[in-house]
Structures are given as structure tokens and as C-alpha cells.
Structure 1
């Protein structure tokens, strides 16, 4: 990883074979080699990139522990470049998670388990995965700390807020977004473009969103990966096919953005804690019971 104020990040969008971890591993090695040739400090791949969106169909065969030698192989291939990828994690007590990991210098340096599991429209993740229970961040160097959230996590503003309050200066969003996933009236491509710019501007931090391509079963993946700067300006946007985009981010731009709009500084944790505690006992309770 870099130790300077700038970081060059790439987003590799591609398709994956359902449940075929070994074939998908080769694709990862290809893109890792491309990223290293390009001199990237970090390369981000889509959600569930090692298993495919419907990898849960072969969950018992596709799931991997954090110590799986195939993840170790990818971590070694990454070298000093940080690599974010998605897989089905088998955790303790045979619990399965939609997970994303950051690999660097031969080891896993961060793991996030998806918290917000969509079970609506054509999405059925709540039937297959256990929800993650934590939002944490990962230090990349002295300036850059990554908040890693998976797809629908980002559509829960509370989770994004937590990531930035945990010190994130960069939001990484691997997604597996199909055009038809939620419903005909829901604009997934347009929604993601708005969401990435919104969070970047509100929190004064870059946002890297990486979608996949191709089709799986009844879903068409539209690509559209993007890298957005702390002022919400799109630095790089991908089309609908397989490709890698990249941009160099400057920490001084983040400093200026957060000086102008100090959202993180002005977050009132005590207020949030108090109101959240109050809601726990009242939210969803009928009025006549409260009274």
C-alpha cells in the first residue's frame, strides 16, 4: 500500500460462474495481474465475486473459511496491492455469511459480513445467510481508512453513518446489482449513481462502487462501476461490459471537502444514542400500548 497522500484505486467489473469457485479464482488472478501491471494501490471486485450472485444455490460446496488456501493464494498474488473481493464465508458453528475481504501482502487484513440482507423483489439473501453484526473500518495507511459495506448495506443510511463515524476516509461498496432485482419501478442504475454522489458529498470522502456484469438466471447486471471524489464528482465510470476503471484520490481534496461541510465533526453521537435507546422500546408498538 501507499504511504503518500494519494492512492490509486481500480474497480474491476466482470461476470462470475455460479458456484464455480475455481473458475472464478482464475478470473480474480487475471484481474489482480492487470491491477498490479497498472500500478494500483487497491483493486476492488464485485460482491460475491468468487461464487456468483446465485452462489447460494451451491452454498455448502461454495462456502469457504477465512483460512481457505484459495484466499491465501489470492492474497499472495495481490502482493503490496490491497484487493477487495466477495465470497460466501463459513463461520463458526456452520453459519454462512455474504462476506467481503481485503487482502494484502499475503494475508487477509479485513473482513466484513453483510448486515442488511435483502429479502424482497427477486432477492432472497435472508433465506441463505446469517446477518453480520458489526460495522468496522480498516486502516490502509496513515491517511486512508476504508469502510467496507456490501451492496444493500449502503441503502441503510445508519450503516453508512456508522462507517464514517468509525473513521472511514474512503467508502468501498462491492455490489451485485441486477436491473430487475427490486422491481420494474425501481431504477437501480440511477439509484446507485445518486447514492454514491450523495454519500461522497455528505461525508466528504471518496466512494468506490463496483458492480458485476453479465446475467445470472433472471437477473441482468448492468455494470456501471464508479469512483467518486469527496465533492461528489465522478472521476471514472464504467460501461456495461467487463472492464477495469481507475482513479487517483488525493487526501488533500478530502481535507478541503470536510472543512467546507463538517458532517463527521458535527455528528452528535450522544443524541443518536439517546434517541435510538428510546426507540428500541417504542418503535412498532401500538399507540394504545404506549399510552
Structure 2
């Protein structure tokens, strides 16, 4: 398997200026292509800015929006993850991350967990997604998308890895707050994120790609510090804090195979046990009669095969869904698979500054 060059597009989007941000995405896709990147990742709401509030409806796009189609067309020969406000057919708004490949929208993930604590008020303006799916990619491995707060819930990376993801991609708009002088990076938030990423990479024996924005929205500062973590839990390369730009590094995807053979944690997971215990907890919270399948040693009663059948590989074949590009995560895409030491990331030469409104 050939090494993969990953470009982290650590941008400072202009709040509410969809056209300017689209232009910047096109520019950075061109730079990534010139840098021979195979995967380009942009941060959460990189196409719109984060602190949108009542502007959310004005910048929302449907999946058939020509502007999104033109951005997808710029990914021929590339895989890219972009984030925007998605408007559904029934006019609900979602914080979405889309996997664009070879000119198509291959998969859309809707942010599942919307924070409503501290400075966050997302649930007031957006609807939550309700599906977690891994999808095949042109890179030759499965990819799982998550948006910021999704990674603060341990079930997210676990489900994505069990569903077949070997690269877990989290796009974020994480603000700098909770100053901590004891932190090596000076920000409590950054220190917490780095702990999460390393832990998830090691526990799922997967690559973790974290892309965080920079700049300022309505007096809220964002710290950047995007990273790629290897399946053993070590940093492969990191982008600087607070700097806007495109940062490129290289990974060996075969590291996942080596790590999973040496440390078969995913093989030893027992999702049927977890499912049974979740059903028991849900029944108890609702005051329902105990689920007899929750008794120790009972059959799990799941309508799935214990072993994958013909044409049903572990991961992508284990969950029913639609097939074909352009589906949302509630109607997951299932395109055909295509073949596709720590280092300092390369900074793209062209770095015109973009200030946040």
C-alpha cells in the first residue's frame, strides 16, 4: 500500500461569507493537489464560520446545491472532507461533514451531539444527526467522519471503528478556553483534545485525523493545533497552534494492519454484550419490564449474523443502508471500494491571510 499524504487545511473562515470561504476551499484544494496530497481535511463549518446563530439558514446548502457540486468536482483524484450547514428536505438544519471524492459527494455525516453548555448553544439552531457510519473510500480503507463534540462521547470512535473505519476523521471548531499553565500547550482545551485523540487512536488501532480551525468569530478565538495520530497512539505530524494555512504530512496506512495484528482490541470487542446491556439500561430508565435477554448467559436476541456471510464483510456490510453516492449518513453511501516516524508537516507556500469577520 502506497504512503498517503494528508493535508490539514487549518483555515480561518469568514463568518457568514459562504462565497469567500468556497473560494478559499477551491484554492487550498489546488495547493493540496500540487503537494500530492491524497486526503484534504477542512475544519467544522469551514465553509460558513462557527458562531452563525440566526445566519445559519442564510448560508445553508442542500446536497444538490450547485456550489457544493462544483466543490466536489474539484476533488477528481482526491478525497476531501468539508463542513457546512446542510438543509434537509423538511427544512431542518444540520452541522454536516461531507466526504467528497472523484467529483462526487460520497457520504455526509450529520453532527450527532450538539453541545448546549458553557459558550455553546448549538441545539437552539440545529437538529442532531442520529446515525454513525463508516464508508469505503478511494484511499483503499474505510473512513469514519465525526464533528467536534461527537468525539467527546466514547461510543463514536468505537462504533466507527467496528463498522470498518481505519481512518477516523474529526473536524472541529474548538475554541481556546480554560487556560491551564500546567499544560504543555498552554490551553486546557488543547491538552484535553490531544489526550482524547491519542487514546482513541490506540484503543481503536486506527489513524485519527483532527482538523481544527483558527481565527476569531464574535470574540471567540480558535486555536488550531490540527494533528494526525497513528494507530499506536503517537503523533505522526502536527500543525502549529493559531496559524492559518495548509499543512501536509505522510502516513503509512499499513500501520493499521500491523497494529491490529499485534494488538487485536477490535477483534476482542463484544458489541452484542454492549447492545444487551444498553437495552437493559434503557428499559430500567423507562421503568419497563426487565429485558430477559439481559440476563447473564442469555442469548442476545439480535437480528444479525454472528459471522459475516458471503458478500457481507465485517464493517461495511454489517448495517443495512442505501447504496450510491450522495446519500446522507441516515441513508449511508456504499460506493465500491477503490485501491488507493513522526515528521514535521510541510507548509504550502501560498498562504494568503483570511481574517474572520
Shared fold, TM over 0.5? yes
Q: Residue 57 of structure 1 aligns with which residue?
A: 54
Deviation at 1:283, TM superposition (A): 3.6
Normalising to structure 1: TM-score of the pair?
0.92
Deviation at 1:248, TM superposition (A): 2.1
Deviation at 1:263, TM superposition (A): 1.6
Structure ranking higher in helix proportion: 1
| CA RMSD after TM alignment | 1.6
Deviation at 1:246, TM superposition (A): 2.2
Q: Residue 231 of structure 2 aligns with which residue?
A: 230
Normalising to structure 2: TM-score of the pair?
0.76
Question: Is the contact between residue 99 and residue 113 of structure 1 (CA under 8 Å) also seen in structure 2?
Answer: yes
Question: Is the contact between residue 236 and residue 245 of structure 1 (CA under 8 Å) also seen in structure 2?
Answer: no
Q: What is the aligned residue count?
A: 280
1:71-107 deviation line (CA, Å, top 9, x unaligned):
1111111221111010000012111100000112211
Q: Residue 289 of structure 1 aligns with which residue?
A: none
Distance 2:106 2:78 in 1: 12
Question: Is the contact between residue 19 and residue 57 of structure 1 (CA under 8 Å) also seen in structure 2?
Answer: no
Q: Residue 288 of structure 1 aligns with which residue?
A: none
Could you say what secondary structure the match of 1:265 adopts? helix
Distance 1:35 1:21 in 2: 21
Distance 1:143 1:70 in 2: 28
Deviation at 1:55, TM superposition (A): 2.6
Identify the match of residue 127 of structure 1 among 114, 118, 124: 124
Deviation at 1:59, TM superposition (A): 1.5
Q: Residue 257 of structure 1 aligns with which residue?
A: 259
Question: Is the contact between residue 151 and residue 176 of structure 1 (CA under 8 Å) also seen in structure 2?
Answer: yes
Distance 2:39 2:16 in 1: 26
Residue segments in structure 1 that go unaligned for 5+ positions in a row: 286-291
Distance 1:213 1:57 in 2: 22
1:254-284 deviation line (CA, Å, top 9, x unaligned):
1121122212111101101110000102248
Distance 2:113 2:50 in 1: 16
The change in CA–CA distance for 1:5 and 1:265 in structure 2 (over 3 A counts) is farther
**Relative contact order (C-alpha < 8 Å, sep 6+): which is higher?**
2
Q: Residue 211 of structure 2 aligns with which residue?
A: 210
Determine if the alignment matches structure 1 residue 164 to structure 2 residue 166. no
Deviation at 1:245, TM superposition (A): 2.0
1:209-243 deviation line (CA, Å, top 9, x unaligned):
00001111131100100011111111111112112
Distance 2:254 2:243 in 1: 33
Q: Residue 154 of structure 1 aligns with which residue?
A: 151
The change in CA–CA distance for 1:284 and 1:245 in structure 2 (over 3 A counts) is farther
Could you say what secondary structure the match of 1:248 adopts? strand
